């Protein structure tokens, strides 16, 4: 038990990337303590639970990164999508997007604003994690947009299938990956307004809701994932990681479930 004295569930972006070159590229400056980069564990228990249990330094993920990668991981792991054309189109509220004068009410009300269509830093995290799963370098095409909500992310993960699969096969893959997970919910309602994930119904909770739709014409699989960027996307992840690191019940402090519409 070497972990008695110091361990850390880190909310900053300082140790999310394991590779110094990647860090310098995405952040635009040299990391002052590169020796720690490959000692930190990327803090998504659904992907790294066993490592987190033993880690001294866990780096909590970017909100858009974790929301997107949870939808994409099963597709990469099962090698069913074209990894050259992964388009992640994200929509996020004011507590997640930007800072400075852009946070004022007048600047947020009523917008649908692309704010970093290319080269957003969270891309590096998604690429790192999916590449690790794939066993090869994977590129991700991410574009975030600011919309007029306070909390919430929706990631529309557009992917192209290597060969066509049926909906039920795909649900099976998702269930195999997340069937035991407490904080991932699989969503599909055949009718009604709430057929797909919508972050409106996740505010205050640590859930990541995942669903998908199929566009057979284009062999496209649209994986949809939603979360509250202040919970599963940040503070909630930090608590979930702490719970795993300390051997607590993983749900402690995170049991809140908002009302969902009927």
> What is the contact surface with a second copy in residues (CB under 8 A)?
85, 87, 89, 91, 94-95, 101-115, 117-119, 139-141, 143, 145, 147-150, 152-154, 156, 158, 160, 193-200, 204, 212-218, 220, 222, 224, 226, 259
Q: CB-wise, 45 or 144, nearer to a second copy?
A: 144
Bridge-partner residues for 99, per DSSP?
none
Strand 87-92 with 153-160, pairing: antiparallel
Of 60, 63, 155, 208, which one is the catalytic site residue? 63
Token digits of residue 40: 């930190």
CB of 217 to a second copy, least distance (A): 6
Question: What is the crossing angle of helices 63-77 and 167-178, to 10°?
Answer: 120
CB of 154 to a second copy, least distance (A): 4
Q: CB-wise, 36 or 98, nearer to a second copy?
A: 98
Q: CB-wise, 6 or 118, nearer to a second copy?
A: 118
| Backbone Cα Rg of the chain | 18
Give the side-chain half-sphere CA count within 13 A for 163. Answer: 3
CB of 28 to a second copy, least distance (A): 15
Closest to 142 (Cα-Cα) out of 31, 194, 129: 129
Bridge-partner residues for 144, per DSSP?
90
**DSSP code for 217:** G
Token digits of residue 111: 């917008």
Q: CB-wise, 176 or 218, nearer to a second copy?
A: 218
CB of 114 to a second copy, least distance (A): 4
Give how far Cα 253 sits from Cα of 10, 12, 195, 239, 242, Å.
18, 21, 29, 8, 11
From the number of C-beta atoms within 10 Å of its C-beta (0-12, 13-18, 19+), residue 131 rates as middle
Q: CB-wise, 55 or 142, nearer to a second copy?
A: 142
CB of 134 to a second copy, least distance (A): 16
Catalytic residue check, 246: no
Catalytic residue set: 63
């Amino acid at each position: 038990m070497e972990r008695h004295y110091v361990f850390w569930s880190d909310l900053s972006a300082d140790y999310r990337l394991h590779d110094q070159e990647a860090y310098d590229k995405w952040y635009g400056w040299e990391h002052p303590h590169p020796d720690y980069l490959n000692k930190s564990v990327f803090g998504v228990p659904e992907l790294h639970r066993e490592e987190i249990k033993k880690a001294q330094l866990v780096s909590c993920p970017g909100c858009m990164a974790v929301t997107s990668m949870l939808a994409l991981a099963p597709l990469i792991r099962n090698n069913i999508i074209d990894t050259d054309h992964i388009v992640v189109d994200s929509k996020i509220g004011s507590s997640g997007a930007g800072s400075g004068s852009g946070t004022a009410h007048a600047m947020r009300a009523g917008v649908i604003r692309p704010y970093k269509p290319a080269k957003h830093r969270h891309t590096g995290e998604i690429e790192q994690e999916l590449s690790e799963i794939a066993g090869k370098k994977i590129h991700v095409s991410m574009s975030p947009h600011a919309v007029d909500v306070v909390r919430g992310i929706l990631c529309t993960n557009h992917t192209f299938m290597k060969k066509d699969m049926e909906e039920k096969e795909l649900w099976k893959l998702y269930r195999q990956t997340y069937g035991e997970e407490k904080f991932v919910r699989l969503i599909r309602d055949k009718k009604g307004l709430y057929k797909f994930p919508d972050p409106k119904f996740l505010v205050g909770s640590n859930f990541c809701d995942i669903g998908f739709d199929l566009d057979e014409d284009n062999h496209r699989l649209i994986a949809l994932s939603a979360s509250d960027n202040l919970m599963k996307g940040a503070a909630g992840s930090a608590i979930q990681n702490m719970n795993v690191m300390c051997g607590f019940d993983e749900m402690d402090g995170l049991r809140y479930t908002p009302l969902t519409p009927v």
